[in-house]
Structure 1
C-alpha cells in the first residue's frame, strides 16, 4: 500500500560531543522524539564539518575527532514537527541549528489485508 501526502522535514545540527544531563545530546533527542510518538528519526554522523565557531571537525586528522557533526532528521506532519520543536527548545543551545523544510511524503506500508 502506498500513502502520499505533505509533511515537514526537521533537521537538527549538533556536535557529537554535545551533552544533555550526562548523556549524548543526539541520544536524548531521539528518546524525546520517540516518547512523543513521531513517525521516526535518523541520526547521521558526518565525516567533516564546521559550525558557529568555524573550527573544522574531521575524521581526516591523525587522531579521530571527538566532536564530529551530527544531523538528526525527522519527517512527520507539520503539527507534530511543531510540537516536538517546543519539547526540544530547552535541549538545543547556542551554536546549534534547526532547519524545517516542506516535503512530499511517499510511504510504502504493508496492506491491512495482507498477512
Structure 2
C-alpha cells in the first residue's frame, strides 16, 4: 500500500487503566485498527497529565500513578479514519478526548511480502 496526499490524524487521549473486555483499552484499539487494515497506529505513554476530573497523573516518584496518560495516534485516508471513529463509539464511554486533524501525508509505504 502506498499513501500520499491529504489524510487525517486521529488522536485519542485515554488513561492507562482504561479497559475493554478485560484487556487494556489502548491494546484493544490497536488490534481493532490493525484488523480494519489501517496504515498504522502508534501508542504513546505520557509522563504527566490530567483530564476531566482534574486529577494529576504523574511519573514523579512521590506521586507515582498507575493511570498515566495514553495518546493513540492513527493516520490514514479520511474515509478509513471515519470508519474507525464509528467503531470507537462502542469502546469508549467517558473520560477521553478524540481529536481529528487534516494532515498532508508525505510518504507511506510498507515492504512488499
Q: Which entry has the higher C-alpha Rg, 1 or 2?
A: 1
Task: Note the C-alpha offset of 1:95.
Answer: 1.4
Q: Which moved more, 1:45-54 or 1:92-101?
A: 92-101
Matched positions, count: 111
Partner of 1:106, secondary structure, is strand
Task: Note the C-alpha offset of 1:36.
Answer: 0.4
Task: Note the C-alpha offset of 1:61.
Answer: 3.5
CA distance in 2, matches of 1:56, 1:40: 30
CA distance in 1, matches of 2:88, 2:7: 19
Equivalent runs, 1:65-104 vs 2, <5 Å: 65-104=65-104
CA distance in 2, matches of 1:97, 1:56: 16
Q: Which residue of 2 aligns with 1:22?
A: 22
Over 3 Å off, 4+ runs: 108-112
TM-score (norm 2): 0.91
Task: Note the C-alpha offset of 1:109.
Answer: 3.7
Q: 1:108 to 1:20 in 2, by over 3 A?
A: closer
Aligned Cα root-mean-square deviation (Å): 1.9
CA distance in 1, matches of 2:38, 2:45: 21
Q: Which residue of 1 aligns with 2:51?
A: 51
Q: 1:32 to 1:109 in 2, by over 3 A?
A: closer
In the alignment, structure 1 residue 38 sits paired with structure 2 residue 42: no
CA distance in 2, matches of 1:27, 1:84: 15
TM-score (norm 1): 0.89
Q: Deviations over 1:35-83 (max 9, x none)?
A: 0000000000000000000000000132631000000000000000000
